[in-house]
């Protein structure tokens, strides 16, 4: 098997047993980037010398059977909105084209401590909003990879790295995950630190993970999740998982309200077929009905995002408005006009929304929806619609997406699973079962694309 096709766990295990050299692994991924990235453009910055030096060091340590942590020698991609010490961090804006942070974001630091090698920075849309970067979809270069974590999703799909991290304020992880046929998780808001990440709308910003299997994503979570040992709310368990896989008592709610209305017929059929398969696999699958306040979710989201984004960008924007893309510019200018009481009303309605949505878990252990309206739209002028993801980000429910079929156009379709706050471990266990039931095993052929 080519090293680039190894899963994260396979590579980690091979490095530990001495059958994979960290240096050769990195070299093969760099070669793949050299071969493909002029077309995919997933990477904003790759410092080859530094990466090779780091890989040599990992190799020397591995020979001595010294391992930094569970990700020893694993190259990962970092969305270009996380601070990386000594490595250019552009935020997708010309305003930061020469910005080299003097420290790592907390999440980056945790990855390094686990032994990961920062392979490079992946393309973000401008300031993680909707103005696209140059990245293309590895499944079909004429289609968008989605955004805002465009490069992270595309790099993992194109086998340029086994895993990557990104951020989601509305649908910036789940949507590109679905469009690129990879697995993602966005845990509850503070489970992965946003310290050292350029904010878009801080009360909604979340960090998330891209991988090619649920197990790989879980391995990343194990290194990234920061849970205070005495925190009784957060339920991420460090060390060996004590969770048991969801059994026949596990109740899955398929949410057709709203989500099916916004999905393509192909997506609806795919999700319905999956629900049917899951019911046949011993799960209780029933239709979950959304509470009335759900109708306010989109307006609440828009109000919070635009006002916080305007506050956040106020100074930078006033200095160089001409550098802003039209979508972010409109967001900021609209946000500047929001009345304080309107922002606060939206924030307070959000609490009511969260409480009403949490009641869904009285009847269900997890919720099933499409990960996107359909396959990735044609063209790279838009990153697609985050409408399937925003409701869960607003609720702050941990959410996974998994590829589950190829659409008629040969591009992947994704399914989305949501669980109660802090229930990431059981969400991952469910994800493993769904992954097995689905049996998705296609991969993009970029030479053909």
Cβ at position 341, least distance to a second copy in Å: 5
Stretch that binds a second copy, among 46-54, 148-156, 304-312, 380-388 (CB under 8 A): 304-312
Of 235, 311, 354, 382, the residue at the interface with a second copy (CB under 8 A) is 311
First-to-last CA distance in the chain? Answer: 22
State which residue, 341 or 448, has the beta carbon closest to a second copy: 341
In terms of Cα–Cα distance, which of 83, 80, 144 is closest to 110? 83
Is 345 near a second copy (CB under 8 A)? yes
Cβ at position 172, least distance to a second copy in Å: 21
Task: Kindly tell me the sign of the dihedral angle through the C-alpha atoms of 160, 163, 164, 166.
Answer: positive
Tokens (6 digits) for 90: 């552009």
Is 132 near a second copy (CB under 8 A)? no
The DSSP element (H or E) to which 399 belongs, if any, is: strand 399-406
Stretch that binds a second copy, among 61-69, 70-78, 248-256, 303-311 (CB under 8 A): 303-311
User: For the chain, what is the largest distance between any 2 Cα atoms, rounded to a whole number of angstroms?
Assistant: 62
Is 439 near a second copy (CB under 8 A)? no
Distances from the Cα of 192 to the Cαs of 203, 325, 383, 421, in angstroms?
14, 29, 24, 13
Cβ at position 20, least distance to a second copy in Å: 41
Is 364 near a second copy (CB under 8 A)? no
Q: How far apart are CA 150 and CA 41, in angstroms?
A: 10
Of 240, 248, 340, 439, the residue at the interface with a second copy (CB under 8 A) is 340
Q: How far apart are CA 321 and CA 312, in angstroms?
A: 14
Tokens (6 digits) for 112: 């390094």
Which residues lie closer than 8 Å to 328 by C-beta, 6 or more apart?
126, 127, 129, 130, 131, 309, 313
Is 235 near a second copy (CB under 8 A)? no
How many Cβ atoms sit within 10 Å of the Cβ of residue 141? Answer: 17
In this structure, the strands spanning 183-186 and 366-370 are unpaired
Of 119, 155, 263, 338, the residue at the interface with a second copy (CB under 8 A) is 338
Stretch that binds a second copy, among 27-35, 73-81, 139-147, 339-347 (CB under 8 A): 339-347
Stretch that binds a second copy, among 25-33, 250-258, 290-298, 333-341 (CB under 8 A): 333-341
Is 232 near a second copy (CB under 8 A)? yes
Is 351 near a second copy (CB under 8 A)? no
How many residues comprise the chain? 449
Cβ at position 199, least distance to a second copy in Å: 11
Instruction: List contacts with a second copy (CB under 8 A).
Output: 228, 230-232, 307-308, 310-311, 314, 335-345, 348
């Amino acid at each position: 098997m080519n090293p680039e096709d190894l899963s994260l766990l396979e590579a980690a295990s091979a490095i530990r047993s001495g059958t994979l050299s960290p240096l050769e692994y990195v070299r093969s991924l760099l070669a793949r980037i050299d071969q493909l990235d002029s077309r995919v453009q997933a990477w904003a910055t790759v410092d080859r010398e530094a990466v090779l030096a780091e890989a040599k060091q990992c190799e020397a340590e591995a020979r001595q059977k010294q391992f930094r942590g569970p990700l020893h020698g694993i190259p990962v991609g970092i969305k270009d909105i996380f601070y990386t010490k000594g490595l250019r961090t552009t935020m997708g804006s010309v305003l930061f084209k020469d910005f080299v942070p003097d420290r790592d974001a907390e999440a980056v630091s945790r990855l390094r401590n686990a032994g990961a090698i920062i392979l490079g920075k992946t393309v973000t849309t401008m300031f993680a909003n909707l103005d696209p970067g140059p990245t293309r979809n590895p499944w079909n270069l004429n289609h968008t990879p989605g955004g805002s974590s465009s490069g992270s999703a595309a790099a993992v799909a194109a086998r340029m790295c086994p895993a990557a991290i990104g951020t989601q304020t509305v649908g910036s992880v789940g949507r590109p995950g679905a469009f690129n046929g990879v697995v993602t998780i966005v845990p509850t808001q503070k489970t992965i630190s946003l310290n050292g990440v350029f904010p878009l709308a801080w009360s909604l910003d979340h960090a998330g993970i891209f991988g090619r299997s649920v197990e790989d994503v879980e391995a990343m979570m194990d290194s990234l999740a920061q849970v205070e040992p005495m925190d009784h709310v957060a339920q991420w368990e460090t060390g060996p998982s004590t969770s048991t896989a969801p059994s026949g008592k596990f109740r899955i709610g398929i949410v057709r309200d709203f989500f099916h209305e916004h999905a393509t017929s192909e997506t609806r059929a795919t999700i319905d077929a999956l629900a049917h398969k899951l019911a046949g696999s011993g799960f209780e699958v029933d239709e979950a009905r959304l509470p009335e306040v759900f109708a306010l979710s989109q307006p609440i989201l828009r109000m919070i995002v635009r006002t916080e984004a305007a506050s956040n960008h106020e100074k930078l924007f006033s200095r160089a408005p001409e550098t802003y893309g039209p979508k972010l510019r409109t967001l900021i200018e609209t946000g500047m006009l929001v009345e304080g009481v309107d922002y606060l009303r939206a924030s307070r309605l959000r609490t009511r929304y969260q409480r009403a949505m949490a009641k869904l878990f009285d009847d269900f252990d997890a919720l099933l929806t499409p990960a996107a309206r359909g396959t990735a739209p044609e063209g790279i002028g838009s990153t697609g619609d985050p409408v399937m993801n925003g409701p869960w980000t607003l609720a702050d429910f941990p959410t996974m997406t998994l590829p589950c079929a190829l659409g008629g156009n040969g591009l992947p379709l994704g399914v989305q699973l949501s669980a109660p706050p802090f229930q990431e471990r059981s969400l991952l266990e469910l994800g493993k079962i769904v992954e097995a039931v689905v049996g998705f095993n296609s991969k993009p052929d970029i030479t053909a694309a």
